[in-house]
Amino acid sequence: MTLPSSLIQFSGHHYIRHRLVLSILSGKPIRIDKIRPDDKNPGLRDYEISLLRILEKATNGTVIEISVTGTALLLKPGIISGGTLTHECPLSRSVGYFLDPLIMLAPFAKKPFQLTLRGITTDDHDLSVDLIRTVTLPHLQLFGISDGLELRIKKRGSPPAGGGEVHFLCPIVKQVTTLNFIEPGKIKRIRGIAHAVRVSPQFSNRMIEASRSVLNRYIPDIYLYSDVYKGEDSGKSPGYALSLLAESTTSAIYCAEATSQPGVAPEDVALLATRSLLAEISKGGCVDERHQTLVLLMMVLGSEDVGRCRMGEPTLRTIQFLRDVHSLFGTTFKIVPAESSGSSNQLMYSCYGTGYVNVNRSLA
């Protein structure tokens, strides 16, 4: 009765997030096997299970089968339903780990997403909620997803104990617009958020000062905010971090952040963040490395027109992502060195959008 949809095989635990996302968006079932088969703790980790849980909650009709050993996974995607959701993230990964795939799915849901996530808000592995709010969400605006797009940081939570809470609101769209972003522009402003919870509030000011000592030479339009959370809202563990972003005249955004390490002075953390921001800026391009996959995905899902974007060289994740996009959506990117890029190794990514229309959106 049901037509046998072609099952797509993947192996390994790497890139599991974007594979799940692509499967749900394309509607093609996938099977991922050989998930840490040789590890002393084989199979899926707790945060991966948690991710599968939240994906199941956010969709309707999704069937997830995990083998007994946990080393294989079968996903038959349903439709993205959205709506109000609450999820407790495990303390092994930060909220950013879960938000990353959900941001890709949220615009194509049936109902606008109202997601509450609890857990660690800033850590070393994934984008902190500050950067997601100030950098990732503006990237979605390039594709016409803007009204009602919001990330509210209710409480901050530092590792290891967490205790943070964020609200993510995302509108639904019928179709994302085609991107044509080839002019990186020049940096016109720098913003930053320094926060310090359950430590001396002076820490954030110290970070700001250290960062300004480097950045002041470039442009005057620098605002670094000290974000204060008190009492209950400041989570369960002490910690501080500085996240910086530089915006260009064509609203290309570069970002960097550094978090507190034991035994490291806040000034050093600030300098680390500042320098990595400068490194990002020097790399150039219209989209930074961390948002390559998001932007490329939205380009694939755009209307049946040619979208173009100028970026740096693909990262590991991006290369695998492009391959997975090819196997699930059939879209191939044209990647050529950007003209007028000179010595810098910037590339022009262009593709023909698949004309993806939000099927889930109801008309009634």
Partner 1 sequence: MDDRPHKAHRPSQSGAKAEKKKGKEKQQNSFNEKAFAPKSGRRAERQGRRKVEKDQTRLHVPLVNRTPDDEPPPVIVAIVGPPGVGKTTLLKSLVRRYTKQTLSEAKGPITVVAGKKRRLTFVECNNDLNSMIDIGKIVDLVLLMIDGSFGFEMESFEFLNVLQSHGFPKVIGILTHLDLIKKAATLRDTKKALKKRFWTEIYQGAKLFYLSGVLNGRYPDTEILNLSRFVSVMKFRPLVFRNTHPYLLADRLEDLTPRELIRTSKGKCDRTVTVYGYIHGTNLRLGTKVHIPGVGDLDVKSIAKLGDPCPLPDMNSEKRRKLSEKKKLLVHAPMSDVGGVVYDKDAVYVNVPGSFTRGNADVPQGEGERMVMDLQDVNSTLEDAVARSSIKLFGSSSNALVVEDNTGHGEHEHEQHSNDGDEDDGDDADSIISEDEAFSEDEEMEDDESGPSPGTSAHTGRSQRRQPTRVLPSIGKSSKRDIEYAESDSEFEYNEGDDYKRVRFDETDNHIPSDEDDDDDDEQDADNDEDLPKWKRNISHLLESSSSQRPRRRDWTKLIYSSDLTPAQILSSNKEEDSRESEEISTEIDEFFHVKKSDSTNDDETLDQTKDPLNPRALQQWEDEEMLDSIRNLFITGASGDADEESEGDAEGASFEDLESGPVDTTNEKSRADALAAKKAELKRKFDEQYDEPSSSNVDFYTEKKDEMARQLELNRAEFAAIEDPETRALVEGYAPGAYVRIELGDVPCELVNHFDPTYPIIVGGLLAAEERFGFVQVRIKRHRWYTRTLKTNDPLIFSLGWRRFQTVPIYSLDDHSIRMRMLKYTPEHMHCYGTFYGPVTLPNIGFCAFNTLTSDAPGFRVAATGVVLDIDRSVKIVKKLKLTGVPLKIFKNTAFIKDMFSSALEVAKFEGANIRTVSGIRGQVKKALPKPDGAFRATFEDKVLMSDIVFLRAWYSIEPRKFYNPVTSLLLSDKNQWSGMRLTGQVRRDEGQKTPLNVNSTYKRIERPERRFNPLKIPAKLQSALPYASKPKLMKAQSRQTYMQKRAVVMEPEEKKAVALMQQIRALRKDQVARRKEKKSERREAQRKKTEKEEAKQLEKDKEKRKEHMRAAGQKSKREAEAEEGRGSKRRKT
Distance from the Cα of residue 57 to its chain's centroid? 19
Among 290, 296, 298, 312, binds partner 1 (CB under 8 A): 290
Among 113, 203, 240, 329, binds partner 1 (CB under 8 A): 329
Please identify, using beta-carbon distances, which residue of 38 and 147 lies nearer to partner 1.
Answer: 38
* Residues 157-176 close enough to bind partner 1 by CB under 8 A: none
Please identify, using beta-carbon distances, which residue of 79 and 199 lies nearer to partner 1.
Answer: 79
Among 150, 232, 305, 339, binds partner 1 (CB under 8 A): 305
* Residues 61-90 close enough to bind partner 1 by CB under 8 A: 61, 78-79
Asked if 262 is part of the footprint of partner 1 (rule: CB under 8 A), the reply reads no
* Residues 20-59 close enough to bind partner 1 by CB under 8 A: 26-28
Q: Are 120 and 178 in contact (CB under 8 A)?
A: no
Asked if 187 is part of the footprint of partner 1 (rule: CB under 8 A), the reply reads yes
Among 68, 147, 220, 262, binds partner 1 (CB under 8 A): 220
Among 7, 125, 216, 339, binds partner 1 (CB under 8 A): 125
Strand partners, 166: 117, 153
* Residues 86-115 close enough to bind partner 1 by CB under 8 A: 96-97, 100, 110
Asked if 364 is part of the footprint of partner 1 (rule: CB under 8 A), the reply reads yes
Give CA–CA dist 343/215, Å, rounded: 25
Asked if 334 is part of the footprint of partner 1 (rule: CB under 8 A), the reply reads yes
Number of chain positions touching partner 1 (CB under 8 A): 86
Question: b/e string for 62-101 if b means 16 or more Cβ within 10 A?
Answer: bebebeeebbbbebbbbbbbbeebebebbbbbbbbbbbbb
In order, the DSSP letters of 117-186 are EEEB---SSS--HHHIIIIIHHHHHTTT--TT-EEEEEE--BTTTB-EEEEEEE---SSPPPPEE-----
